[in-house]
Amino acid sequence: MIHVLAFYLFAILVVCSGALTILSRNPVHSVLWLILAFFNAAGLMILIGAEFIAMLLVIVYVGAVAVLFLFVVMMLDIDFAELRAGFVSYLPFGLLIALVLLAEIILGIGLWSAGPIELAQRAAPTDPNISNIKAVGMLLYTRYIFLFEAAGLVLLVAMIGAIVLTHRARGGVKGQNIAKQNRRRPQDAVRNINQPTGQGVEL
């Protein structure tokens, strides 16, 4: 009974937070609602025993992607009034995408009602004593290690691109010259003065 209540709780929160992500006028609030949707989706994954996917949702999507969205929205100077002004011009394209997504949802519901897909013949045999996180880790860091490293390089390039796009040259800021600091000698920074007793120091 508790599993059913938890499922409906997580499912309702996912649907509501997803709708508020789209309908929110403030982009920062949209990102916060998206984070709530990710957390509740992770709860649904835990209910079906997919704790690895739940961990990915929390660590990768909430801890990296959603926070990145939040920082980009807060850092970029976006004129949202101008964006809303062009809403009517993009309305036909948006309706087309909505119809395509609706058709995919109807197709998915139809396939689900037709019966489950037999995956026992396609799935690789695994030891029942090993958790799915350990099984995925063993496969990821052995057979797919080069693809894993390639994905890391792609993310590194994306991070550098984001830094380059958001970096602004600001005026009136005193920069740091590392080469000049390394060339500085002690005698250039310190001046020894034989000051007589009872007299002040002239600067």
Our measurement of the distance from residue 116's CA atom to the centroid of its chain's CA atoms, rounded to an integer in Å, reads 33
Q: Is the pTM above the cut of 0.75? A: no
In this prediction, residue 116 carries a pLDDT of 53
Q: Running DSSP on this structure, what letter comes out for residue 130? A: S
Residues (pLDDT < 50) of the chain are none
- Letter string b/e over residues 24-44, b meaning 16 or more CB atoms within 10 A of that residue's CB: eeebeebbbbbbbbbbbbbbb
Are the C-beta atoms of 38 and 14 separated by less than 8 Å? Answer: no
Cα angle for residues 150, 153, 157 (degrees, 5° grid)? 140
In this prediction, residue 111 carries a pLDDT of 64
Q: What are 56's two structure tokens? A: 């990915």
Q: What are 145's two structure tokens? A: 């290690």
Using the structure block, give the residue that is written with the tokens 């984001």.
162
Are the C-beta atoms of 21 and 34 separated by less than 8 Å? Answer: yes
Our measurement of the distance from residue 170's CA atom to the centroid of its chain's CA atoms, rounded to an integer in Å, reads 27
In this prediction, residue 84 carries a pLDDT of 64
φ/ψ of residue 115, rounded to 5? 130, 160
| pLDDT tens, residue by residue, 136-155 | 888 888 888 999 899 889 98
In this prediction, residue 85 carries a pLDDT of 64
In this prediction, residue 193 carries a pLDDT of 75
